[in-house]
Amino acid sequence: MSAGHDVRFLDVFKGQPKAVWITAFAAVIAFMGIGLVDPILLSIAEALRAGPEQVTLLFSSYLGVQVVAMLITGAFSARFGAKRTVVTGLVLIVVATLACALAGSIGQLVALRAVWGLGNAFFIATALSVIVGAASGGQAAAIMLYEAALGIGLSTGPLLGALLGHISWRGPFAGTAVLMAIALVLSAGFLPKDGDRAQRAKVRLLDPIRALGHGGLLRTALGSAFYTAAFFTVLAWAPFVLEFGAIAVGLVFFGWGVCVALAGVFLAPRLAARFGEVVGTILAVLAFAVLLGVMAIGSKPVVVVAVVLSGLASGLLNTLFTGTAMSISGAPRPVASAGYNFCRWLGGAVAATVVGHIATWFGSDHAPFAVGAVLCLVAAGLLALELRTKKADAHDVPADAAVVGEEL
């Protein structure tokens, strides 16, 4: 996370411009959408007469479209400006979430989640570059703010889903639509106007893929893809293993999300300062593998504890992987972010698609956790390879790492 492992959390909040706070608020709501459906998966399955393989498509359609769209966000932002890109994403999310609340079949819901994923793609990648470009305190402070938003969103999403889902499975979608509409109004009304297009860096459509030609960024992105696959194995499959009601599942994942937020904001900078980002990431992903192994053989109470504690490892990994990806290559940050997020969320989309089938293939509801543990070991191997090949500290920001969207 570059110069600034010693950035203090409270100092991050001092003197930040309005654009940062508005974008961070919208990011919280956007990330709420990831875990929002967790507590209501069983309710949706029952109400719409869908099996686990169909219900987990709510994650894979959302993430699959988001993955592909990530490749065009950099070019779209460069052509139309960061504010227009953020607003476009938020409009799509508001429309999709409102329509989800009115869906009449699992097929409609899956399709609408895909539109939601498209909106998220426009918003998420641009939001990170906006915060990095506008935040005072440098890249370390910006990533800390971004990961704080991610952690708060991940922790409150399941809780909101549980509370509103206890009334109806449609409630969480309607609630998210309202919150996202507020974020849309704030972004459209108060974010500074986009600057002249001539002043923005030119980004071509395939630049995010070309950026992955950098060996360090590619290894980091692939390692993150394997980790994110394990991450979504926990998120998408644990409710089916636990078989709890909406409130109970929401509370479990609220505890998990709190751990994500605390570890990402408070523990990750300390771990990176002590061991370096790459070694710190290896330690965290190995810890995640151990917890997944515990989930694979444990009883329901043990799985609950392991799921909550896995939030600590996930919080560390989200921050450390993001910090490394934004620093390791000379590509402009929005381009590096798009390429990295393409791989990262691809791992999640694949995992959410096949997790139910893995349980069927192996004849065990706990088998997906074992597969997730193996994926974490693969991620650790890729990072170890990066540790051997890199010549410079991965958390030093290259001087030519330009920022697109600094007009915000």
Residue 47 belongs to a domain with what CATH number? Answer: 1.20.1250.20
Alpha-helical regions (H) of 243-275: 246-262, 268-275
In a domain, 404, yes or no: no
pLDDT band at 396 (very low <50, low <70, confident <90, very high): very low
Q: What is the pLDDT of residues 214-257, one digit of tens each?
A: 888 889 899 999 999 999 899 889 988 998 888 888 899 889 98
- pLDDT at 9 > cutoff 60: no
Q: What is the pLDDT of residues 73-114, one digit of tens each?
A: 777 877 788 888 889 999 999 999 999 999 989 999 999 999
- Terminal C-alpha separation, the chain: 22
Q: Are 347 and 224 in contact (CB under 8 A)?
A: yes
**What one-character DSSP code corresponds to residue 267?**
I
Q: What is the pLDDT of residues 125-151, one digit of tens each?
A: 677 777 766 666 666 677 777 777 877
* Cα 199 to Cα 116, 177, 267, 402, distances in angstroms: 31, 34, 38, 13
388, with CB counted inside 10 A (0-12, 13-18, 19+), is exposed
In a domain, 244, yes or no: yes
Residue of 240 and 6 predicted with greater confidence: 240
In a domain, 400, yes or no: no
In a domain, 2, yes or no: no
In a domain, 401, yes or no: no
Question: Which distant-in-sequence residues (6+ apart) come within 8 Å of 116 by Cβ?
Answer: 33, 62, 92, 93, 96, 97, 100
Query: How far is residue 288's CA from residue 282's CA, in Å, rounded to a whole number?
Result: 10
In a domain, 105, yes or no: yes
Query: How far is residue 191's CA from residue 175's CA, in Å, rounded to a whole number?
Result: 24
User: Which one, of 392, 354, 386, lies nearest residue 371 by Cα?
Assistant: 354
Domain region containing 65? 9-197+204-389
In a domain, 398, yes or no: no
Structural domains counted in the chain: 1
In a domain, 229, yes or no: yes
